[in-house]
Amino acid sequence: MRFFFHTALCVLGAALSLNVAATQCTSLRVAGASQWFPFAYHDPLVPNIPQGIAFDVVRLIASDINIPIQYIDDLPWRRIEQAMLDGSVDLLAGNYANSEREKAWLLTQPFSEDDVRVFVKPESSIRFDKLKDLENYAGLIPSGVSFGREFDDYKHKLNITEVELHEQMVSMLVSQRADYIVLPRFSGLKRVNLLGYQGKVIPLDTPVSKNNVHLSMSRESPCKALLSQINERILENRKNGNISAIEAKYAQ
């Protein structure tokens, strides 16, 4: 009887320990996009360390507030969004703001900016000045993304298909399976160049949107109390030039 009682206590103690560990902030579980140059992407030369401005800012701030990072890697964007809702990811390294995200997540102060462009073939008849100009064309966007409030609210009026891979989007445009694609400017140019389509796919001059880039904390995270410290460090590192130095590294 004593043996069973002792065993039960051990099992209960282990369960309580796991529960306490799950509610304590001992590290930041961080996830981010895998194709969004220069903010959050994978580099095959450094396979285990996510790259980009957003991840560098996370590493800088984590060092400032003395908390270790655990990377949650290889999640598609929709899985990341779900993980942010259920708290299995603490911090998202880089996102635009929209009303849904502001309700679902805890957005930080912005740490950078990005703009989104329409990419077309040079011979395209598309003349883009406002979203209505795209209504009679077939377009592609990445799966699950937000391109800012105005675009998100308007896109149901457009003939748009969501595609998982940026490479596939560019190839579909080149092969005339779409009239245009929408991507963040720097990320789109990087993808076009990597695929060898310089001059065959170009961004139009007028931005679809200009967006602040944030980090976001899960509302279910045991680390959400760090939000104020993270905001303070973002503001300080913008002021002292540390974030500008990170951005400059990716502009080279």
Which tokens in the block code for residue 193? 């160049």
Decide: residue 181, CB within 10 A, 0-12 exposed, 13-18 middle, 19+ buried. buried
Whose structure tokens read 């005339």?
176
State pLDDT tens for residues 204-239: 999 999 999 999 999 999 999 999 999 999 999 999
DSSP one-letter string for 90-126: -EEEEE---HHHHHHEEE----EEEEEEEEE-TT---
How large is the average pLDDT for residues 194-205?
Answer: 95
Cα gap 100→81, rounded to integer Å: 11
Cα gap 52→39, rounded to integer Å: 4
E strands, the chain, in order: 28-31, 35-36, 40-41, 69-71, 91-95, 105-107, 112-120, 138-142, 159-163, 180-184, 202-203, 209-218
Cα gap 154→149, rounded to integer Å: 9
Fold of 25-112+213-251: D-Maltodextrin-Binding Protein; domain 2 (3.40.190)
pTM: 0.81
Locate CATH 3.40.190.10 in the chain: 25-112+213-251, 115-210
| The CATH number, out of the four listed (3.40.50.10420, 3.10.129.10, 3.40.800.20, 3.40.190.10), of the domain defined by the range 115-210 | 3.40.190.10
The pLDDT confidence band at residue 4, using thresholds 50, 70 and 90, is very low
State pLDDT tens for residues 81-118: 999 999 999 999 999 999 899 999 999 999 999 999 99
